[in-house]
Amino acid sequence: MSGSAVGRRTAIGAAAAAAFGTVGRAQTAHEPPVFPIRMAQGGRHFEDSAGRPFLLHGDTAWSLIAQLNPEDAELYLRDRRSRGFNALLVNLIEHRYASRAPANIRGDAPFLRADDFTAPNERYFAYADQILRRARDLGFLVLLAPAYIGGGGGEDGWYQPMRAAGNAALRRYGAYVGRRYSGFDNILWVHAGDYDPPDRSVVTAVAEEIAAANPGVLHTAHCAPETAPADLFAGAAWLNVNNVYTYRPVDPMARRQAQRSGRMPFIMIESAYENEHGASERRIRSQAYQALLNGACGHVFGNSPIWHYGTSPIHPRPMRWQAALGSHGAQSMTLLRRIMEDLPWATLQPDTEERFLIGPRGEGHERSVAAVAGDGSCAIAYVAGGHSVTVDLAPLRAGEVAVRWIDPAGGAVLIAPEVEPARGRRWRLTSPGANANGFADWVLEVRVRGS
């Protein structure tokens, strides 16, 4: 099987044909999870309370609670559900990125007195309850930041007011938030925020009180880029989910986190957002695939202006946030979830030793990555550049294999003839060229027949 090794073109599968006949109009029907989400046995991925693997497939909605009215929130939530997202990254209280910050769209501030963490405003938090409850009804896990501290400890976040308030006040706030949301079973708490603070006690004061009020609940931290929570908050009793946050190529940092000892799942919580950092839609896809095929059990996509709903004075606003909902990046994410969940993704083992995808792998954001199912039934590779690759089928079970190229931008599938190669034989494949949006990245999938 040399050369292009492609045959007829089809949809992503008979079951998915309707969902992916036309990218951008895809309405993806996923069974909602049974909350709460928990760590699966082995500690490397999540599952819902029915024991089903839960692939965290998130969108960034930092200003959802502070900026949107109920009608706009409903529009946003329903759109994201229809596109296959099942998680949202949200600020509980917003310091800068809302039109009336720190007040919400109705003019309710989070505290009765400015920056007084001991005086929460019932009206503000009642509205937050409403949004979080609706998110739960629609099947979203909410990655909720109780007090985002802000890049460099500056005006984006609450770090300076938190230091001024003192840890006793912060513990009262953490206890209040922890008690208030103890009945919400769709929250994964996200502490810190874009910063590795020199005074970590302001973060841990809040985190420890929330954890005390909600034993067993999931917690992570949003550190500065290139820092993992398992490093910055090593040994913290509340920390049970690690993550990757980088604007560099995701592959190296994801590999490092996957190779850590101990049972702590990790996700990619942030990388370049669509319409920021000059990121092309291929880079947006590459970030996600480099995370997931290196062992991450979830990822969070982001788009500007969606994350701030058009309120940021410093970030680009190429369109109204409503118009951005159907972006190429979002369409690619819809396809990514379908591709991953069409495989036994929870059993995938990163092909870091290059036993399946021999190469060439490329470098940086254009580095190709691969993973093989633990039982040898299938393998998947994200081939980031338009070039030939060599694969070795030795890591797979013996038997006839089916090979297909999947367009991660448009959803078309090119199916290769079925073959039964000799064990250990290497095969050189050439990706099909430009995908639906003119980029050269494709997903390669190899399955053993009958698996």
Residue 245 is predicted with a pLDDT of 99
Residue 19 is predicted with a pLDDT of 30
Residue 325 is predicted with a pLDDT of 99
Pairing type for strands 56-60 and 46-47 reads unpaired
Pairing type for strands 357-359 and 348-350 reads unpaired
Question: Around Cβ 69, how many Cβ atoms within 10 Å?
Answer: 12
Residue 417 is predicted with a pLDDT of 62
Question: In whole angstroms, what is the distance from residue 439 CA to residue 198 CA?
Answer: 43
User: Concatenated DSSP letters for 109-121?
Assistant: -SBSSTT-TTSB-
Q: How far is CA 151 from CA 161, 196, 420, in A?
A: 14, 9, 54
Q: Which amino acid is at 41?
A: Q
The fold of 31-346 is TIM Barrel (3.20.20)
Is the pTM higher than 0.75? The answer reads: yes
Nearest to 319 by CA among 150, 143, 329, 337: 329
Pairing type for strands 388-392 and 357-359 reads antiparallel
Q: Which amino acid is at 212?
A: A
Q: How far is CA 208 from CA 200, 203, 443, in A?
A: 12, 9, 42
Residue 119 is predicted with a pLDDT of 99
| Cβ within 8 Å of residue 48, ≥6 positions away | 33, 34, 35, 36, 37, 38, 54
Q: How far is CA 359 from CA 353, 356, 362, 367, 370, in A?
A: 11, 9, 8, 10, 10
C-alpha distance across the termini of the chain, in Å: 21
- 254 touches 245 (CB < 8 A): no
SS3 of the chain: helix, strand, coil, percent, to 5: 30, 20, 50
Mean pLDDT by 10 residues, the chain (451 residues): 40 33 45 97 95 99 99 99 99 98 99 99 99 99 99 98 99 99 98 98 99 97 98 97 98 96 91 95 98 99 97 83 98 98 98 95 96 98 91 93 96 78 74 95 94 72
- 104 touches 65 (CB < 8 A): yes
Question: In whole angstroms, what is the distance from residue 298 CA to residue 384 CA?
Answer: 20
**What's the CATH class of domain 348-448?**
mainly beta
Q: Where do the structural domains in the chain lie, given as residue ranges?
A: 31-346, 348-448
**Where are the extended beta strands (E) located within 170-301?**
187-192, 219-222, 242-245, 266-270, 298-301
- 397 touches 451 (CB < 8 A): yes
Lookup: tokens for 92 = 């509980």
